[in-house]
């Protein structure tokens, strides 16, 4: 059983992204009003906005947290062609503890809108990947994690098509080479695939494209690798006009030194679902990589899980009972919806697993 809670984010424009920290007790939201808000969950389960500030000179597309081992760090990207690094500074003035977010660095290499930003897995150090509409994925690194003012551009990957989203492979095993999945929403490209897999070669110190998912020909809105806690293959979720789930099984090839190198993948489409009957905008995995959540224009969040035969199916659907303020022209809005529209504020819905002992309920792992 899941419990839903409505949070008035007080953003005065469209909310583009919501991101939870590693422990799930802090939340960051960003929107077209050029601001980012940070929310903390109290012991009573209530969310409180602890900080709000203007971050960019244009719409803020994405916000993401770094691993807490490096501190309380956020990265944002915007239509203003920049990405930014923010660090939380906590002070005690004697009248209480106050937190302030300080801009540590601005990344200005892109010539067009920066559409996504993601921190690398902890094992790879403090690295940050950005992608932009100019078709370039850029990877930055902080040489000194104690000095967040300095970020060096390590790699540029020319994808040759406008990029809309990226995802690192969050494998905790050193047996897998670092992977980055890139999605494109280019409406002019009708063939050739719009999702790509890049692998880092330790020998050449370069990122090489190893796979193109040619079956994905519709604009990709979001892409996400599943956490890998021991699987011999990778799982990839893609949000396009429907929900796609792919498995990528590394193919071992013997070299002249009798060593094996993972140079390519056996790609299989494990699932394709059009239950949303509309565009799908976000996909996200749980911490064990066993359940995929998707959200679409139908106002629903759906959960997908594979059974023991490795057949994926929808295990739960959450239907939003508050229409987004952007749909205020709909004459069927309830008084609650009209109230939200009149204040000019946008709301978010937060779902949490409630304790239950009923055997028919699907457990959350």
Q: What is the pLDDT of residue 93?
A: 74
365 located within any domain: no
What is the span of the domain harbouring residue 326? 2-353
Count of residues for the chain?
365
Per-residue CA distances from 119 to 22, 68, 128, 191, 213 (Å): 12, 12, 4, 30, 23
361 located within any domain: no
- Rounded distance, CA 182 to CA 139, Å? 13
Q: Can you read off the two tokens belonging to residue 364?
A: 């959350």
123 located within any domain: yes
Q: Which phi and psi (to 5°) does residue 338 adopt?
A: -65, -35
Q: Which residues pair with 18 in a beta bridge?
A: 29
Q: What is the pLDDT of residue 262?
A: 45
Q: What is the pLDDT of residue 2?
A: 57
- Rounded distance, CA 187 to CA 217, Å? 10
| CATH number of the domain enclosing 11 | 2.130.10.10
Cβ-based neighbours of 329, under 8 Å, separated by 6 or more? none
pLDDT per residue of the chain (365 residues) written in tens, 0 to 9: 555 667 766 676 788 999 999 999 999 999 999 999 999 999 888 999 999 999 999 999 999 999 999 999 999 999 999 999 999 999 887 777 888 999 999 999 999 999 999 999 998 999 999 999 999 999 999 999 999 999 999 999 999 999 999 999 987 666 678 999 999 999 887 667 999 999 998 889 999 999 999 999 999 999 999 998 888 899 999 999 999 999 999 887 654 444 444 448 899 999 999 999 999 999 999 999 999 999 999 989 999 999 999 999 999 998 865 333 333 333 333 333 334 334 445 555 544 554 444 444 444 43
360 located within any domain: no
96 located within any domain: yes
C-beta neighbour count of 346 within 10 angstroms: 23
- Rounded distance, CA 239 to CA 224, Å? 9
- Rounded distance, CA 329 to CA 93, Å? 47
Residues 52, 223, 83: CA angle, nearest 5 degrees: 40
- Rounded distance, CA 30 to CA 101, Å? 14
Pairing outcome for strands 195-201 and 206-212? antiparallel
38 located within any domain: yes
Q: Can you read off the two tokens belonging to residue 48?
A: 């409180």
CB crowding 25-43: b at 16 or more within 10 Å, else e: ebbbbbbbbbbbbbbebee
Tell me, yes or no, if the pTM score tops 0.85.
Answer: no
Cα–Cα nearest to 15, from 68, 52, 66, 65: 52
Cα–Cα nearest to 142, from 107, 90, 110, 170: 107
How many domains does the chain fold into?
Answer: 1
- Rounded distance, CA 348 to CA 365, Å? 24
Q: What is the pLDDT of residue 130?
A: 98
362 located within any domain: no
- Rounded distance, CA 170 to CA 180, Å? 10
Per-residue CA distances from 339 to 175, 276, 321, 323, 344 (Å): 54, 27, 14, 11, 9
Q: What is the pLDDT of residue 50?
A: 92
CB 318 within 8 A of CB 351: yes
């Amino acid at each position: 059983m899941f419990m839903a809670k409505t949070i008035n984010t007080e953003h005065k424009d469209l909310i583009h992204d919501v991101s939870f920290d590693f422990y799930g007790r802090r939340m960051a939201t960003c929107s077209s009003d050029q601001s980012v808000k940070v929310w903390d969950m109290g012991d009573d389960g209530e969310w409180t906005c602890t900080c709000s500030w203007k971050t960019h000179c244009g719409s803020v597309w994405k916000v993401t947290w770094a691993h807490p081992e490096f501190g309380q760090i956020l990265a944002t990207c915007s239509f203003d062609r920049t990405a930014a690094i923010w660090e939380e500074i906590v002070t005690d003035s004697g009248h209480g503890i106050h937190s302030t977010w300080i801009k540590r660095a601005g990344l200005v290499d892109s010539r067009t809108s920066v559409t996504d930003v993601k921190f690398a897995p902890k094992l790879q150090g403090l690295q940050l990947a950005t992608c932009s509409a100019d078709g370039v994925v850029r990877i930055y690194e902080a040489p000194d994690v104690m000095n967040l003012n300095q970020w060096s551009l390590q790699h540029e990957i020319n994808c040759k098509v406008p990029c809309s989203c990226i995802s690192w492979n969050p494998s905790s095993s050193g047996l897998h080479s670092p992977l980055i999945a890139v999605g494109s929403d280019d409406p002019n490209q009708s063939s050739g695939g719009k999702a790509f897999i890049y692998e880092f070669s330790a020998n050449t110190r370069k990122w090489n494209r190893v796979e193109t998912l040619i079956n994905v020909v519709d604009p990709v809105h979001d892409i996400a690798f599943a956490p890998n806690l021991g699987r011999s293959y990778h799982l990839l979720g893609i949000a396009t006009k429907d929900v796609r789930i792919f498995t990528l099984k590394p193919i071992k090839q013997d070299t002249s030194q009798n060593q094996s190198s993972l140079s390519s993948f056996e790609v299989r489409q494990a699932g394709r679902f059009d239950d949303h009957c509309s565009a799908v905008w976000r996909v996200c995995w749980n911490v064990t990589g066993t359940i995929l959540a998707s959200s679409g224009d139908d106002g629903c969040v759906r959960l997908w899980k594979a059974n023991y035969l490795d057949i994926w199916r929808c295990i739960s659907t959450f239907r939003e009972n508050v229409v987004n303020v952007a749909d205020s022209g709909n004459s069927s809005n309830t008084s609650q919806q009209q109230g939200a529209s009149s204040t000019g504020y946008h709301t978010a819905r937060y779902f949490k697993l409630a304790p239950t002992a009923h055997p028919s309920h699907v457990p959350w792992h």
